A = this chain, B = another copy of it.
Amino acid sequence: MGASETRQQIVDVADRLFYEHGFNATSFANIAKDVGLSRGNFYYHFKTKDEILDAVIARRMTNIRAMLDAWEQDAESPAERIRSFVHILITNRTKIMAHGCPIGTLCNELAKLDHAAKGDAARLFSLFHEWLARQFAALERETDADALALHILMRSQGVAALATAFHDDDFICREVADMEAWLQAQCPTASLPNSSQPA
């Protein structure tokens, strides 16, 4: 097996373990076991644990970009695209109730560790933030698009946090519906399913 494939595999496993158990609680040994490598051999692929973290953040960066691009293509309207974002709360609810939001929990942990990469982790949020702001701008809300985007990002974070604490399916669905209603109220000219189309 080539080094780049192995490296990729390490990052895949590390990504999952960092999400499920946190960065600090995941050791070289844990990753090595799941990848099927010997502990000591890690040094060949990654000099330090922080290097793995950087690679994981970079991987998430590209994955998020790909997801946003897919929504950009699949959804017909900006409002539909925002709806796609909101709905990951329902799609991923099982994982969220178990381990929280992958980005939010990582940012929190790195902030507490005062880790050098905490700014890079926050950049993952910025990807969503800027993308959402572009959607709101397309909905004739150019002046407050940033604030609206931050607001919906904040709501999804809050839902994820309480979902982890309470494991309440109904709460998630209720808040998602509330976000959709809020979205509809913010952009009454936007076309949404189950709503009358503007003339």
Residues of A bordering B, CB below 8 Å: 20-22, 24-25, 98-101, 104-105, 107-109, 111-113, 121-122, 125, 147, 150-151, 153-159, 161-162, 164-166, 171, 174-175, 178
**Additional A-B contacts beyond A104-B108, A151-B175 (14; CB < 8 A):** A22-B24, A24-B24, A99-B112, A100-B108, A107-B161, A107-B165, A122-B165, A147-B174, A150-B171, A151-B178, A154-B159, A154-B161, A154-B162, A157-B161
In the assembled complex, the CB of A176 is this many whole angstroms from the nearest CB of chain B, namely: 11
Our pick among B109, B147, B155 for the contact of A158 (Cβ within 8 Å) is B155
Contacts of A175 in B (CB 8 A): 151, 154
